[in-house]
């Protein structure tokens, strides 16, 4: 995964980028396994010699395909096509399978960066990053952020470095990249 350099402003550099936490793929993986098992079992359990047996097999296959597309393939495609990019000047969120949606927030407009970590997030190391803006918008909420506490600290360091850059000075310390 690499954010296209042509979409960055002149002199802008990517500090780090990531996808949503892998736990977003947990339920689609279970749905995939359960559906394949159930459809296979039902397909061979249905007797084709009985009245409508062949039709029932096609119905089972169609229902299984529909379940796989809606609850396994689409969540996976959403995960693959979602990216969070943090540059030295802004925060970029891009998502979408067919139509793309994007939201950029300049670091200069950020007022507050907070996070929420649910119980499972403490176990699996993910959370939600809430970024409040000085602008008219409501801010930016990024769900399923891996290692959210470290990302919050790094965003604050990026904000300080951007402020120093805009004031004409150089940042005192380059923000460390999250692992």
Residue pLDDT, tens place only, 43-65: 999 887 777 788 999 999 999 99
Would you tell me the crossing angle of helices 53-68 and 26-45 to the nearest 10 degrees? 170
Mean pLDDT by groups of 10 residues along the chain of 179 residues:
80 93 95 98 87 88 97 96 94 94 92 95 95 81 94 94 84 60
Position 156 scores a pLDDT of 93
Element (H, E) at 114: strand 110-116
Position 138 scores a pLDDT of 76
């Amino acid at each position: 995964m690499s954010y296209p350099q042509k979409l960055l402003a002149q002199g802008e550099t990517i500090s780090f980028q990531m996808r949503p936490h892998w736990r977003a793929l947990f339920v689609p993986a279970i749905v995939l396994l359960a559906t394949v098992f159930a459809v296979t079992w039902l397909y061979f359990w249905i007797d084709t010699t009985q009245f409508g047996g062949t039709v029932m097999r096609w119905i089972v296959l169609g229902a299984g395909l529909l379940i796989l597309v809606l609850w396994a393939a689409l969540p996976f495609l959403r995960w693959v096509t979602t990216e969070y990019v943090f540059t030295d000047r802004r925060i970029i969120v891009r998502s979408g399978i067919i139509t793309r949606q994007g939201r950029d927030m300049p670091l200069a407009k950020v007022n507050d960066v907070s996070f929420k970590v649910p119980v499972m997030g403490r176990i699996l190391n993910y959370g939600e990053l809430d970024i409040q803006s000085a602008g008219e918008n409501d801010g930016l909420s990024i769900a399923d952020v891996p290692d959210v506490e470290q990302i919050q600290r790094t965003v604050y360091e990026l904000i300080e470095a951007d402020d120093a850059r805009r004031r004409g000075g150089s940042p005192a310390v380059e923000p460390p990249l999250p692992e």
